[in-house]
Structure formats: C-alpha cells, structure tokens
Amino acid sequence: MSDDSSVILTKNIILSFPKAVSKDDFVGKIKEIAESFVTFLKDSGCSQLGHIKFIATTNGEDYLQLSVLDINQSPKVDGILRKTFEKIKLTLNVIVFGVNKEDINQKILEEISNLKNYFQAS
C-alpha cells in the first residue's frame, strides 16, 4: 500500500574492481540500473518522481552524472569519466513520493549488489 509521503534517500558507495572497468561498460550498467529502478517505482505505485541521480567520480576531477527527472523519460547522462578505472565513488540520491522507504532501500541494495557482481565476474 502506498501513500503520498516523500522519501529522500542517499547512498554513498565506493566500488573497487579486480580489473579495469571501461567507462562505456560502467555507464551502460548504470543506465540499466536506472531503468530497472524506474520500472520498480512504476510497479510500486510511485505517485511522483522528484529525481534519481547517480554521481560517479574516479579521482575527484572527473565525474559522471546520470539523472532521471521524469518517470516516463530515459535517463540523461552528463560529464566525463576516465576511459578505464579500478575504483569509483558512487553517490545515489533518490527523491520519490508514494513508495515505502524500506522497499526503495532494498531495491537500491539489490541493484548495487548486481552492479558489484557484474564487474566481479567480468
């Protein structure tokens, strides 16, 4: 059961990979996660999306920002990352209405786990 209360959630994660990850592969996976998260929100009765933002940096000088500002539009990607990297800091910020905070948190943890597993196996 959903209500119209707001949920604001921020996660800061540092990911280390056993071998270099390409920027293109990472951006592709982050887009997949964003799309999966939007589908989850729609299926969970999200009444309004404030935003979903992924901000990633490898050394503090480069950055990548993926934004979802409308639940019915594709994610927008801005910024630049190094071509390859073995460690990245990822900040995820979500503002939504009408979905349970615990459900959102669980979905985020699931998607982060999927991201780690993908690059561990690559």
CATH number of domain containing 10: 3.30.1220
Residue 85's contacts (CB-CB under 8 Å, 6 or more residues apart) are 17, 20, 21, 23, 26, 58
Q: Is 110 helix (H, G, I), strand (E, B) or coil?
A: helix
**Would residue 122 count as lying in a domain?**
no
Residue 15: predicted pLDDT? 93
Q: Is 71 helix (H, G, I), strand (E, B) or coil?
A: coil
Residue 122: predicted pLDDT? 67
**Would residue 115 count as lying in a domain?**
no
Residue 1: predicted pLDDT? 42
**Would residue 120 count as lying in a domain?**
no
**Would residue 24 count as lying in a domain?**
yes
Q: Give alpha helix (H) positions in the chain.
A: 23-43, 101-121
**Would residue 113 count as lying in a domain?**
no
Residue 89: predicted pLDDT? 95
**Would residue 78 count as lying in a domain?**
yes
**Would residue 21 count as lying in a domain?**
yes
Burial (CB < 10 A; 0-12, 13-18, 19+), residue 104, is: buried
**Would residue 91 count as lying in a domain?**
yes
Interatomic CA distance for residues 67 and 117, integer angstroms = 23
Counting as low any pLDDT under 70, the low residues of the chain are 1-3, 122
What residue numbers bound the domain in which 58 lies? Answer: 6-107
- What total of structural domains would you count in the chain? 1
Residue 87: predicted pLDDT? 94
Residue 12: predicted pLDDT? 95
- Provide the whole-model pTM: 0.87
